[in-house]
A and B are shown apart, each in its own frame.
Chain A
Amino acid sequence: MLRAGCQVLTQTALPAGKTGGNSFALEFVRWRRKPRWLPVAKSKVFRVPERKKQTEEERTELMRLHNQYKTQLRSVRQYLREEVVRHEETSTADHIVLTPEQEEAEFQKCLDLNAAWNARIAKEREARLAKEREEKVAYVQERLEAKQLREEERREQANQRVLREIELSKTYITRENLDAAIEAALANPVDHNFAIDLDGNLYRGRNTSQLTEASPNPNPEPNQQALSN
């Protein structure tokens, strides 16, 4: 909202540019101006701003001030540089001057210390690796034993199954005893239905009669068999 430059410009109507009469060199372009991204107006494309006129006296005065400033600054810089050099030459605060023998001894000391550290760490590492190796061996051994056990169990189960089947194979129905088996099956109809009462008694069969051959068990005698439970 602050339009310092514009106001100053309009009030004083100075020709010295937009920031010329502004004590704090601020130009707000947010309001009452074209946006920043718009190009130069067509009518102003070939306008060359006129250079400011400088009198001879003004130029010589500015040059004198400039030269004076540069000279003074150069002399201060040179003084400071020389001071640093002087200080470096005279003091040994930040560096220790050693003879070659001393340097060699220092290096040897560092080497020994480093070797000692390395030896200690190597010992620790050896112990750790040995422990890990042992653990791994134990783990593998355990897994192998578990696998063997599992295999044995599986084989045992398979064996049992084979034995059971061999046992059962005596009761298999073959072509030879097929007629007898059919006769037996027809003679003995089975019924897998059953009922349970609250006391856990099991009543096999059902009450509805079969159609042919004078229903085998119209009123099944309660085959009571207490459920174990």
Chain B
Amino acid sequence: MPTYELALVLRQLPRPELISVIRRTAEAIFDKGGIIRKLENLGTRALPHKVSEHGVVHREGTHFTIAFDTAPTQIADLKEEFGRDIDIIRRYVFKVQEPEEHKCTLHEEMLPPAYRKDVQEIVEAAKRTQKKKYNYNSGLDYYPFQK
């Protein structure tokens, strides 16, 4: 089962109700045969703009993320279910990607242009396209090609 991350924005609620909303959400994932890996509370903050959801205007919200595993076929059902919950303002499901491995090449990039590998390649390519010039001091006393 792939790992997903559910990002929730919840209505500003008193603590017991907040707990019940989160439990409801988690139970929904369990009911669909999912596994919950992690719960994260990102705090209650003012929303970046006012949000009208389920007929109510919201200006503050509690941000919460749930990392979970479930079958890809269940995602649409989960989204639909969370969409009906009036305490959830926003819900987004992301697929968790493997972290990309990359090496730091800053010290190579900071070299002077003449020493950089990509610049050297460009110079080579430009040389290849240039027409070869005849060397006049090569011993022949006439020009051997057509002028």
Query: Are the C-beta atoms of B43 and A210 separated by less than 8 Å?
Result: yes
* Docked complex Cα distance between A174 and B27 (Å): 9
Query: Are the C-beta atoms of B22 and A182 separated by less than 8 Å?
Result: yes
Q: How large is the interface on B (under 10, 10 to 19, 20 to 34, 35 or more residues)?
A: 20 to 34
Considering the complex, which residues of chain A in the window 188-223 have a beta carbon less than 8 Å from any beta carbon of chain B? 188-192, 208, 210-212
A173-B36, A229-B104 are contacts. A186–B41 as well, Cβ < 8 Å?
yes
Considering the complex, which residues of chain B in the window 7-46 have a beta carbon less than 8 Å from any beta carbon of chain A? 12, 15, 18-19, 22-23, 26-27, 30, 35-46
**A142, CB-defined interface residue at 8 Å:** no
**A178, CB-defined interface residue at 8 Å:** yes
* Docked complex Cα distance between A88 and B104 (Å): 95
Query: Are the C-beta atoms of A182 and B39 separated by less than 8 Å?
Result: yes
**A25, CB-defined interface residue at 8 Å:** no
* Docked complex Cα distance between A109 and B38 (Å): 94
* Docked complex Cα distance between A182 and B23 (Å): 8
**B60, CB-defined interface residue at 8 Å:** yes
Query: Are the C-beta atoms of A189 and B43 separated by less than 8 Å?
Result: yes
* Docked complex Cα distance between A182 and B26 (Å): 10
A178-B23, A186-B19, A229-B104 are contacts. A173–B37 as well, Cβ < 8 Å?
yes
A173-B26, A211-B60, A229-B104 are contacts. A190–B19 as well, Cβ < 8 Å?
no
Specify which of B12, B40, B104 is in contact with A185 (CB 8 Å cutoff).
B40
**A117, CB-defined interface residue at 8 Å:** no
A179-B23, A182-B22, A211-B60 are contacts. A189–B42 as well, Cβ < 8 Å?
yes
Give the chain A neighbours of B43 by CB distance below 8 A. 189, 191, 210
* Docked complex Cα distance between A192 and B43 (Å): 11
Task: Say how far B99's CB is from chain A's closest CB, in angstroms.
Answer: 14
Give the chain B neighbours of A173 by CB distance below 8 A. 26, 36-39
* Docked complex Cα distance between A208 and B23 (Å): 28
Query: Are the C-beta atoms of A190 and B38 separated by less than 8 Å?
Result: no
Give the chain A neighbours of B26 by CB distance below 8 A. 173, 178, 182
Task: Say how far A167's CB is from chain B's closest CB, in angstroms.
Answer: 12
**A172, CB-defined interface residue at 8 Å:** yes
**A121, CB-defined interface residue at 8 Å:** no
Considering the complex, which residues of chain B in the window 51-106 have a beta carbon less than 8 Å from any beta carbon of chain A? 60, 64, 104
* Docked complex Cα distance between A188 and B39 (Å): 10
Task: Say how far B94's CB is from chain A's closest CB, in angstroms.
Answer: 14
Specify which of A172, A179, A211, A229 is in contact with B45 (CB 8 Å cutoff).
A211
Q: Mind listing 11 A-B residue pairs with CB under 8 Å? A: A168-B37, A172-B36, A173-B39, A179-B19, A182-B26, A188-B41, A189-B41, A189-B42, A190-B41, A191-B42, A210-B45
List residues of B whose CB falls within 8 A of some A CB.
12, 15, 18-19, 22-23, 26-27, 30, 35-46, 60, 64, 104
Closest 3 CB pairs of A and B: A185-B39, A173-B36, A189-B43
Beyond known contacts A182-B39, A210-B43, A211-B12: 18 more, CB 8 A cutoff: A171-B37, A172-B35, A173-B26, A173-B36, A173-B37, A175-B27, A178-B27, A178-B36, A182-B23, A183-B19, A185-B22, A185-B40, A186-B19, A189-B41, A189-B42, A190-B40, A192-B42, A211-B45
